[in-house]
A and B are shown apart, each in its own frame.
Chain A
Amino acid sequence: MSRRMTGAQMVIQALKDQGVDTVFGYPGGAVLPIYDEIFQQNDIRHILVRHEQGATHAAEGYARSTGKPGVVLVTSGPGATNAVTGLTDALMDSIPIIVLTGQVPTFMIGNDAFQEADTVGITRPCTKHNWLVKDTDRLAQTIHEAFHVATNGRPGPVLVDIPKDVQFAKGTYIPPQKTSKGHYQPKVKGDLDKITELVEQMEKAQRPIFYTGGGVINSGRSASQTLRELVKGTGFPITSTLMGLGAYPASGDKWIGMLGMHGTYEANMAMHGCDLMICVGARFDDRITGLVDAFSPGSYKAHIDIDPSSINKVIHVDLPIIGDVGNVLNDMVKVWKSRGSKTNSAAVKKWWGQIEKWQAVDCLNYKNSDKVIKPQHALQRLEALTKDHPDRYICTEVGQHQMWAAQYLGFEDPHRWMTSGGLGTMGYGLPASVGVQVAHPDALVINVAGEASWLMNMQEMGTAVQYRLPIKQFILNNERLGMVRQWQQLLHGERYAHSWSEALPDFVKLAEAFGGKGILVKDPADLDDAIKEMLEYDGPVIVDCVVEKHENCFPMIPSGKAHNQMLLGEASTEGAIDSEGAVMV
């Protein structure tokens, strides 16, 4: 069924045919024909953000919490350039979003026309792929292809730039079923010989570990299920990156916590000392490896990843398996079972004995106070008061609070943790929480924030109020750019250059000015009540939780150091980072 329609109508038809229910956007001259079509239909809900960066992060939150791609619609020029940070964020974290931008009419391109920007040129390095559509007859096909590329293989952001004359002109609409998928068909099935080789290694391993990452989440819910089955069957310990939290439940008995720079002592020591590392959909990021030359020196390393460019990029591995996590794990379980479900259980038991000794160090211990709220304590209370909620989603901003959230909150399921890992974008959390709440109107959506990050996209409170999104902004206010201050303390001779959050707004009044509710809490004795008040309020709410100003985030592997050279607390920080390490970020 091919139909004639305008380009603007095609955009809406294509989105409907792709199953899109929500678009995050902001209008402008170059997209007015599309907005005109949005006005005349009711199938797709448009959420008017307050800044195009907000739209991209909201779409990321929507995508990460649903497993479906997020969609953004913005105008040409400044609309498009404002989307660049969100595109880069989604590229780094492998989040599927589709950004549609308006462009000046084709006959004006190149003339420095009003609100013209070379959008495909600017966004080429920060998208998985992008297209400029110059012919209405190609528009539907291109949008369908954009969805295919964003969601297949390693997911990522794509952008379709649509000149205004292409939106007005008529062309033939092609439905998704009739669209050629092109040659972009990444390999999802792992090589069975290699999978068998991995199973053989698992059968004899004495000190095995699963190191899992965002790829498990990307692969979908069933991948997490298979992972759980495999961990249960083998009894191997499992750790995860920041991006993979929730794939295996935090309450699971084989869980040893997050690894990496601010990961647990036991997870990092186990990674350092293991003899078999099974990397599942993680990418050996520098927050994980620390000093590359000293990274897990004695282990046999297997790496399951859908993107061949992730293999051997940072760490040389012994056994690469290219394919989709869910697919490969299924085959692993089959092969392992067919060979009799064997492990070297005596050795693995001994290995657990060692891990338990590391766990006994109790690396997340901190000194609590009854005078001032410790940020860790605030999160422990938040966890205690919300963990039984049947439908909880957590977003974060970027900084110390983000790491504490990863350490002190427990994630039982995938898709419930939204954080900016790869790019580390301050200002991600509030708009992301908007996107999550739009997708899950009845859920409990909390953004754990630092006051500095939160201010970066605070305009999105307006969006929350307009659409009655009861998002909870839990701000751990240390009046510092805490993570920066920590590095200045440890690396730059305690010279705190511009790491103060000065002239802060009154967050309670700010919340009220937007039309939401504000709660201020300073005294540890009032903390629980403040959290409960936040949970009970049916609407957008900001909690200004004033916390200890100079708390440092531990454990910490200093930059340029190995996993077994971890700092556990204040006492161990003296001279811990040398000048060579200070060069690294």
Chain B
Amino acid sequence: MNALKISKGTSRKSAYNLRSTLGDTVETHTIAVLVDNEAGVLARVIGLFSGRGYNIESLTVAEVDHVENLSRITIVTTGTPAVIEQIKAQLARIVPVHDVHDLTVEGPSVERELALIKVIGTGEKRVEALRTSGVFRANVVDSTLSSFVFELTGTPEKIDAFVELMRPLGLADVARTGVAAIARGQ
């Protein structure tokens, strides 16, 4: 067991458990991959996606277990059920990969992303930007007389919505972390 309670190689719903791959509707899945934190492991994962023509909507990676030297990569991807199952099976066969979890099919999960959003403007627009940030419960982490940097955490959809509202109000720059996700409950 590691810090995030993902037991290695024991998940019933790992890539060995096959789901029907019939159907051609495109689905979005969030996949958590537990890997050895070694040189080149991210290149292997990204190379797999580019080499086999799979989509990456977002990707985050960070070490999650210092003792066992494990990192967690969270990937949001889209594809038909057959493609999604292939992606999981292909990920699982990468040697430094310990476990692959499809959070989208393994029950309810929480997804969060953090964004830093810079808005430049004065007068009415500046006031409106600050007011809207309150509605979204964004924090002001930097401000000058003519700019704000907001920090916002939420689902990707929430961040998209906030960014859209900021656009006419002087949106200057956006930095997003990509999705981190985890299963709910025990």
Q: Which residues of A contact B (CB under 8 A)?
A: 120-121, 124-125, 128-129, 132, 149, 153-154, 182-185, 187, 307-309, 311-313, 316, 320, 322
Contacts and interface: CB of A to CB of B under 8 A. Distances in A.
B95 A128 contact: yes
B108 interface: no
21 contacts: A120-B40, A121-B40, A124-B44, A125-B51, A129-B94, A129-B96, A182-B95, A183-B9, A184-B95, A185-B9, A308-B18, A308-B89, A308-B92, A308-B93, A309-B86, A309-B90, A311-B89, A312-B21, A312-B86, A316-B22, A320-B18
Nearest to A154: B93
B8 interface: yes
Give the 9 A-B residue pairs with the shortest CB-CB distance, closest first. A309-B89, A129-B95, A308-B89, A312-B21, A309-B90, A308-B15, A184-B95, A125-B51, A309-B93
A570 B95 CA distance: 48
Interface in B68-103: 82, 85-86, 89-90, 92-96, 98
Nearest to B8: A183
B136 interface: no
A124 B96 CA distance: 13
B18 A311 contact: yes
A124 B38 CA distance: 14
Interface in B36-51: 39-40, 43-44, 47, 51
Contacts of B93: 153-154, 307-309
Contacts of A121: 40, 43
Interface of B: 8-9, 15-16, 18, 21-22, 39-40, 43-44, 47, 51, 82, 85-86, 89-90, 92-96, 98
B95 A125 contact: no
A120 B40 CA distance: 9
A445 B8 CA distance: 47
A559 B96 CA distance: 38
Nearest to A308: B89
Contacts of B86: 309, 312-313
Nearest to A132: B39
A121 B43 CA distance: 9
Contacts of A120: 40
Nearest to A127: B95
Contacts, number: 53
Contacts of B85: 312
A125 B18 contact: no
A308 B19 CA distance: 12
Interface majority SS (helix, strand, loop, mixed), chain B: loop
Contact of B82 (A154, A183, A316, A320): A316
Nearest to A120: B40
Contact of B43 (A124, A183, A312): A124
Nearest to A130: B40
Contacts of A185: 9
A187 B16 contact: yes
B18 to A, nearest CB: 6
Contacts of A312: 18, 21, 82, 85-86
Given A124-B43, A312-B85, A183 B18 contact: no
A125 B9 contact: no
A128 B39 CA distance: 16
A183 B98 contact: yes
Contacts of A309: 15, 86, 89-90, 92-93
A125 B44 CA distance: 8
Contacts of B90: 309
A312 B85 CA distance: 8
A184 B8 CA distance: 11
B33 to A, nearest CB: 13
Given A124-B40, A316-B21, 13 more contacts: A121-B40, A124-B43, A125-B47, A128-B95, A132-B39, A154-B93, A182-B95, A309-B90, A309-B93, A312-B82, A312-B86, A313-B89, A322-B16
Nearest to B92: A308
Contacts of A308: 15-16, 18, 89, 92-93
Contacts of B40: 120-121, 124, 132
B16 to A, nearest CB: 6
Contacts of A307: 89, 93
Nearest to A322: B16
A129 B92 CA distance: 13
Residue from the set A129, A311, A312, A322 with the largest chain B CB neighbour count within 10 Å: A312
A184 B96 CA distance: 8
Contacts of B89: 307-309, 311, 313
A138 to B, nearest CB: 11
A562 B21 CA distance: 22
Contacts of A149: 95
Nearest to B34: A183
B165 to A, nearest CB: 42
Contacts of B8: 183
A124 B47 contact: yes
A154 B22 CA distance: 26
A153 B43 CA distance: 23
Nearest to A186: B93
Contacts of A316: 21-22, 82
A311 B82 CA distance: 10
A266 to B, nearest CB: 31
A120 B43 CA distance: 11
Nearest to A311: B18
A309 B15 CA distance: 9
A129 B94 CA distance: 8
Contacts of B43: 121, 124
Residue from the set B85, B95, B96 with the largest chain A CB neighbour count within 10 Å: B95
A307 B47 CA distance: 19
Nearest to A134: B39
A185 B16 CA distance: 13
Contacts of B21: 312, 316
Contacts of B16: 187, 308, 322
Nearest to A185: B9
A151 to B, nearest CB: 13
Contacts of B92: 308-309
